[in-house]
Structure 1
Amino acid sequence: MFSRPENDRRIMATWERFLSGEESSSDALRRLIDDSWRRCFDASVDPDRNRAPVPLTENFLHSLRNEHGELLTASTPVMALAREFLSETGTVMVLTDQSGTILSLEGDTAVRGAAENVHLLSGANWSELACGTNAIGTALTIGQPVQIHSAEHYCAGIKRWTCSATVIRDPYDGEILGVIDVSGLSSSYSRQSLALVVTTAGRIENRLARFEMEVRYQLLEHCMRGLTDTTVDGIIVFDRRGRPIKANERAPSVLADFDAARWDGKHIDLASLALGRAEGELPPTGLPDWIQPDWVEPVIHDGRRIGSLLTLPNRRAGTVFGKARRATERGEAAVADSFDDLIG
C-alpha cells in the first residue's frame, strides 16, 4: 500500500529498462506500479511528458464546477480544514471529478509555484491517460487508495512529486464521484498522507449521504402531499438518479399486468425498475420503452429536480391516463400515508 522512498534508485533503473523494452521485473517495484506502467505504455502515454495537459478555460471550469456542485459543497468545509493543517507541510490537497479533472485545491502556498509548473491546477486533467502513473489517475483506475512516490510515476516530469489519493464514492450506489489527493515535492513524503486522504474522503461521503437523505425527505414529503390513496393506478416515486424508493399498494399488481403483456420476455418488477437520471423537465435518460414519457412527472423543489413520479395506468380499471387526469388527481384531498411499500 505504501511507497518506499529508499527504493527510488532501483525503481528508476527499472523504469529505464522498461522503456527500453528490457526485462523490468524487480522486487523493488510494486505490482500496482508495474500494472499502471503497462497500461500507460499500451495507451501510448508519453513517458517524457513533464506536466499535465493545459487546464480548462475559466468558462469550461465554471460549467464543470456547477455540474459537480454537490460534491464541491460537501468537500469545501472539509478541505478548508486542510488549508491550515497543510499550510507548512509543502503539500496541497486536491479534489477532482470522476475523470480526474481538478475542481479545487487547498494547502501550502509555498508549493503552488512548483504545482503550477506541472499544471497541478484547477481545470487540469490528471487521469492516467493524461499524465501516466500518478495517485489521482491510478486511484480512479483501480478504485482504491494509492500512494505514488517519485520514481514510481510513469512520466519523467512528474517524478519529483509524491502523492497519495483515494476515490470518493456515492454513499448510495458506490459510483465513483471523484478523488481526494495530497501532493507535494518528493521531500514531503509521509505515510500519513494516505491516511489523511482516506479520512477526508470518508468525511466527504458522510456529508454527501446527509445531503441525499435531505433530498429524499423533500421528495417524499412532496409526493405524500400531492397524491391520494384513492387512485386505481400504480404510483412509484423515483429518486433523482432514477431509482425507485416508494410505491403505493397498487403498483405491484399494475406492474404485473404490464409484465404479463410483454412479448420480448424481459421481466418487469418493482425492485429492478429504473428510469435513469433526469434534469429539469426532460424525460429520464434511461426510460424503458414500455413507459410513455407522459406517465413521468418531474418533482421540482427550489428550482431543481429532486426526483420523478411515475403513474402507471391500471388497464383492468380501463382508465385513461393523461396530463388532464393527473391534474385532476392533484386537486383531490391529500392523504399522508399514501405509500405503503418501502423498496429503497
Structure 2
Amino acid sequence: MTDDGERDPFARARALSSTFEAVLAGDRAARPPRPLISASWERSLAAHVDPDKHLPPIAIPETDVPELRKTHPLNEVMPLLRNTLVSIADEAMHVMLVTDADGTILWREGAASLLRVADDSGLVPGFSVAEEAIGTNAMGTTLAVDAPVSIHSAEHLVRTFHRWTCAAAPVHDPDTGAILGAIDITGPLHTVHPAMMQLVAATAQLAENQLRVRLAIADERLRVRNMPHLRSLLGRSGALLSPSGRVIAGEPYGGWPARVTIRPDADTVQLADGREMLIERLAEGYLLHAPRTAAPSRHRSALSLRFMGEQAPRLILDGEVVPLTLRPAELLTVLALHPDGLTAERLALALYGEDGNPTTVRGEVLRLRGLIGANVLRTRPYRLDATVDSDFDAVRRALRAGQPLEALRAGAGSLLPRSDAPEIRELRDELDVNLRRAALTSDDPDTLAEYCTHAAGRDDLEAHELALQLLAPDDPRRSQLECRCRSLQAES
C-alpha cells in the first residue's frame, strides 16, 4: 500500500493530501495520484460526488439489515470471515466490513472503541459505500474495478474518510461469476500495513472456495435427482443443466461447454460446435438432448411433471414432450404423490371424492397407460414405475427449506387451477397458502416484488402494499407495482 521507502503513514498521508488538494484545485500535482485512484476520482466526480460530503447515504433502514443478511449468499461464509479477519481486526484496531454487490454495508465487526469512531464516518450497516454514492473508497472501488484495492488517507475522494486506511477485495459467485459483495479491513492511519491487501484478498479467495464447495454439494444433489432423465436418452447425447445453465452432467462425458445460455422461450439451442440440442425444462434446471433417431429400448423411465400455472399441463417422458389434458394430469399428480401405489378405490376417492367410481378410474388408467406405456404405469396397485420430478414437489421442498424465492421460481402458478379433484385441491390450497405466508413474512423486498408479479400474488392487494413499503423510492419496480396496486384498490 505504501511506496518503497515510505514507512511513515502520516508522512504519506500529508503527501497524498497535497496531491488531493492540487488535483481538486485544477493544478498540476507535484506527485500525481496512482492511476487506480485517478480513474476512481474521475468516476466519482462524474457521478457528482461532493468531496466535502460528510457521510455516505443510507441505502436501507438499519431495521431491514438483519433480514437481508439472512438471505444474502455471503451469510454462509460469515463464520469463515469472522474466524479469519475479526480477531486480527480486533488486535490491530481495525473494523471488518462486508457489503453486498451494490456497496451497501451489511456486516460490521471489530473493536467496540473503533466502531464508535466508525459511526462518525457513516461506516454503518445500511449505508452505501458505492463509488457513485460516496466516491473513492476501498469497498466501492473494489466493486467498481473487480479487483483487490487499498486506499490510504487522502486517496479517498471524500474528506471524511481521510482519517482511514483500508483494503478490500471482491467476492464472486462461483455459479455465475458475478460479484456478490466486498470484504474490507479499515483502520486509523497509523494501523496501515503492507500486507493488509494481501490478507483481505486471500480471505476473499477462501470465501469463494467455501462457496464453491457448497455449490458442488448442491450440484451433486441436483445431479442425483435428475440423472434418470439423462440415462433415459439411451445413447443419445445430452446434458443436465443447473437452473443457471451450467452443465453438471453430460453423455458422453466430454465435449460440453461449461455453461449454456437458455433463452426463456427457446425450445432449442445451438452449441458452439454447431450441434443443435432440444431443451426440456425440468422441475429443477434443464435437460438438453439430441433429437431421437432410433426407437428406445426397455428401461426405467424418467418423468418430469410441470403442472403449475395457467398453461396446459406438460409431461416430459424420457426427454420427449407428451401432450396432456386435465384428467390424465390429475391422475399423474395423485400417483406422483403416492409412489407406493394406490388401489382403484383409493384413486377414485382422491380424484372424485365419495362419489368416485373405481370402474371409471380403471378406464382412465387404461387410457393413460396407452399414452405413456404400460411399463411406466403399473397395476396392482396403480403406481408410476419411473423416476419422477415435478414442479409442485420442487415448490414444496423450497418452502420447507425456507426459500420462498426458490419456491416462486419453481412453479408458474397454482397447481392444475381448473382441477376439482379433492386431493389436488387440497395440495393446491396448501401450496398457495404457504407460498403467500412465506412471501408476506419474509420482509424481503425482492421476494415480495417477485411474488406480486407471480401468478400467485398478482391479485394480492396486501402483498402489493407491503412491497411498496419495503422497496426503495428509486427502485425501478415501483412504478409497475404502484399501478397494479391502484387497480386492485379500485376493485376492492
Same fold by TM-score, threshold 0.5 exceeded?
Answer: yes
The answer to whether residue 143 in structure 2 is matched with residue 114 in structure 1 is: no
CA contact (8 A) 1:82 1:107 kept: no
How big is the alpha-carbon RMSD for the aligned residues of Structure 1 and Structure 2? 3.4
Secondary structure at the counterpart of residue 159 of structure 1: helix
Q: Which amino acid aligns with 2:51?
A: P
CA contact (8 A) 1:232 1:317 kept: no
Shift in Å at residue 199 of structure 1?
2.0
Change (3 A) 1:270 1:89: closer
Change (3 A) 1:226 1:318: closer
Larger helix percent:
2
For residues 1-344 of structure 1, the aligned pairs below 5 Å read: 1-2=1-2, 5=9, 6-24=11-29, 26-27=30-31, 29-58=33-62, 60-68=64-72, 70-171=73-174, 174-225=177-228, 228-229=231-232, 235-248=238-251, 273-275=260-262, 286-287=263-264, 289-290=266-267, 295-299=280-284, 308-310=285-287, 314=291, 323-326=314-317, 331-333=384-386
Q: Which amino acid aligns with 2:185?
A: V
Secondary structure at the counterpart of residue 273 of structure 1: coil
CA contact (8 A) 2:229 2:287 kept: no
Q: Equivalent pairs: percent with the same residue?
A: 30
- Bigger relative contact order (CA 8 A; separation at least 6): 1
**How far, CA to CA, are the matches of 1:144 and 1:96 in structure 2?**
15
**How far, CA to CA, are the matches of 2:16 and 2:187 in structure 1?**
19
Shift in Å at residue 242 of structure 1?
2.1
* Alignment match, 2:380: none
TM-score by length of 1: 0.74
What whole-Å deviation, never above 9, does each CA across 1:131-164 have from its counterpart, x for those lacking one? 1111111111112221111111100111111111
Q: Which amino acid aligns with 1:38?
A: E
Shift in Å at residue 273 of structure 1?
2.6
**How far, CA to CA, are the matches of 2:281 and 2:249 in structure 1?**
15
Unaligned 5+ residue runs, structure 1?
Answer: 253-268, 276-285, 300-307, 335-344
**How far, CA to CA, are the matches of 2:220 and 2:87 in structure 1?**
35
**How far, CA to CA, are the matches of 2:235 and 2:241 in structure 1?**
19
Change (3 A) 1:228 1:34: closer
**How far, CA to CA, are the matches of 1:151 and 1:166 in structure 2?**
20
Q: Which amino acid aligns with 2:260?
A: L
**How far, CA to CA, are the matches of 1:54 and 1:325 in structure 2?**
49
Q: Which amino acid aligns with 2:286?
A: L
Unaligned 5+ residue runs, structure 2?
Answer: 270-278, 297-303, 305-312, 318-331, 333-371, 378-383, 388-492
**How far, CA to CA, are the matches of 1:2 and 1:171 in structure 2?**
32
Shift in Å at residue 27 of structure 1?
2.8
**How far, CA to CA, are the matches of 2:315 and 2:234 in structure 1?**
15
Change (3 A) 1:288 1:233: farther
**How far, CA to CA, are the matches of 2:96 and 2:240 in structure 1?**
39
Shift in Å at residue 49 of structure 1?
1.2
Change (3 A) 1:271 1:157: closer
Q: Which amino acid aligns with 1:50?
A: H
